[in-house]
Amino acid sequence: MLKVRLIPCLDVKDGRVVKGVQFVDLVDAGDPVEAAKAYDAAGADELCFLDITASHEARGILLDVVQRTAEACFMPLTVGGGVRTVEDIRRLLLAGADKVSINTAAVKNPDFVREASEKFGNQCIVVAIDAKKVSATSEEPRWEIFTHGGRNATGLDAIAFARQVAERGAGELLVTSMDRDGTKGGYDLALVRAIADAVSVPVIASGGVGNLDHLVDGVEKGHASAVLAASIFHFGTHTIGEAKGYMADKGLKMRLDEPAQNASARATGMTLS
Amino acid sequence: MSVVIIDYGSGNLHSAAKAFERAAREAELDLAISVSSDPTLVATADRIVLPGVGAFADCRRGLDSVHGMVEVLQRRVHEDKRPFFGICVGMQLMATRGLEHTTSYGLDWIHGDVKPIQPSDPHLKIPHMGWNTLTQVKPHPLLDGIPTGPDGLHAYFVHSYALSPTDPANVVATADYGGPVTAIVGRDNLVGTQFHPEKSQALGLKLIANFLRWRP
């Protein structure tokens, strides 16, 4: 049976993890490759890098980070942030990313999704949908697509956009509520569910996780195939193992294999908080 | 002993090569592992790995564009009986035909077509993406020491099409996704996995080590 995926996400800027990852004994908490290895050893189901590097010149650094991660971690890696062209996607895939997430470029031109998926296969094209609720409390809920970290409104309806990019070949949708992101108040479950029920491709819930029940809700109430979180793992509030164990206790089908790298992690003295 | 991972422009092969290197190291096998598009290397390698991501027709075109590669593959696999391992679309290429977007022809080593996955439950998402357990259909050295079944280890899948072998005897393992989906095929000196062993952590490394030790 297919399992629910738990995906830690790392924000990377100029080749460094933005907020640092607070694992015990991590040699360099700011090194995304070190953090990736720790998540791999802890049994994360996939890993996501979001590149928030501002300057185009510094983007080569990310390719090096992706390459070193892919060589050290035998788990799927999604990389997003600033992906504008087919050439950007090609470079990331060649560096070792398994999937590439597209955001603004898909909003500006949904046909870019078709171009990318025809070239590389829909299995590696993720469209990141950043949405905010724009309806009043009394109205039927409605969400709009925003870009640039939630600053720029586009006027596009989130559900219609999700359908559109799924039809054009997105293999997966990463749905982030810009209202909830960073609040620790839980996913916008109505948004996630509305999109998950509208498309035939898997949906990853993102934005707002503050506790383990939020992860469970993302699947049970949001109908997501995978759940993404950042800070609850980076700051050591919960380990990947605790989260997966908790989700399994709540009745979700989780992968609880002994991770491959435990033995080598123990050998090098690396432990996880 | 040498292992060649065939590079025909289908995606990144660093992680596959690293996974093979690590599996060999952990199994204490002394192997030279290379990633190459050179048919002369395939002609001398003891074991051959054909990876593949993307669409069937694109991968077939990519393989054909390497001059002499298909001929060398046919010879090494059929006449010299070298152990062969196809991964994901590399496994699909072992089939007779691929029906993704257009009809194109595979290597026809495992008779059958590569067709869209059609789960009995319409709510199941396509692609079949993520970690699934395996149901072993027949014994095979590739699965030695690997726990299968509902409580077994997991393999990482990402695909919308699957191989349906004409002869069920060529199916080694399936995954359950609204019905059985072919996960491992095998016949004589040929094996192939729909999932990605190089992304499948414990199960993947063990399975690769089994392939490296396999004497069909």
* Residue A121, pLDDT score: 86
The pLDDT tens digits for A168-201 are 999 999 999 999 988 899 999 999 999 999 999 9
Q: Do B12 and A72 touch (CB under 8 A)?
A: no
State yes or no: ipTM above 0.90: yes
B22, two tokens = 């690590």
Distances (CA, A) of A22 to A15, A41, A233, A242: 17, 15, 8, 16
Chain A nearest-CA distance from B108, in A, is 23
Please give the average per-residue pLDDT across B60-75, as a whole number.
96
Chain A residues with CB under 8 Å of B202 CB are: 257-260
Three-state DSSP at A220 gives: helix
Q: Do B129 and A255 touch (CB under 8 A)?
A: no
Interface test with B, best of A6, A45, A74 (most B CBs within 10 A): A74
Q: Let me know if B59 is a catalytic residue.
A: no
* Residue A155, pLDDT score: 95
* Residue A266, pLDDT score: 40
Q: Do B12 and A93 touch (CB under 8 A)?
A: yes
Per DSSP, helices labelled H in B9-154 are 14-26, 39-44, 56-65, 69-74, 89-92
Instruction: Check CB contact of A49 with chain B, cutoff 8 Å.
Output: no
Instruction: Specify whether the CB–CB gap between A179 and A132 falls below 8 A.
Output: yes
Please give the average per-residue pLDDT across B48-69, as a whole number.
93
The pLDDT tens digits for B154-174 are 999 999 999 999 999 999 999
Chain B nearest-CA distance from A124, in A, is 8
Q: Which of A163, A168, A212, A165 is nearest to A187 (CA)?
A: A212
Instruction: Check CB contact of B161 with chain A, cutoff 8 Å.
Output: no
Chain A residue with minimum CA distance to B129: A202
A99, two tokens = 């999937």
Count CB pairs under 8 A between chains A and B.
Answer: 110
Q: Cα dihedral sign for A241, A124, A100, A151?
A: negative
Chain A residues with CB under 8 Å of B58 CB are: 121
Place B23 in a pLDDT band, splitting at 50, 70 and 90. very high
Chain A residues with CB under 8 Å of B53 CB are: 120-121, 123-124
CB atoms within 10 A of CB B53: 22
Q: Let me know if A130 is a catalytic residue.
A: yes
Closest CB to B201 among A98, A172, A260? A260
Q: What is the pLDDT along chain A (273 residues), one digit of tens a residue?
A: 999 999 999 989 888 888 655 555 555 668 899 999 999 999 999 999 999 876 666 778 899 999 999 988 888 999 999 899 999 998 999 888 999 999 999 999 999 999 999 888 889 999 999 999 999 999 999 999 998 877 889 999 999 999 999 999 999 999 999 999 888 999 999 999 999 999 999 999 999 999 999 999 999 999 999 999 988 988 888 999 999 999 999 999 999 987 654 444 443 434 443
- Residue B110 CA to residue A146 CA, distance in Å, equals 48
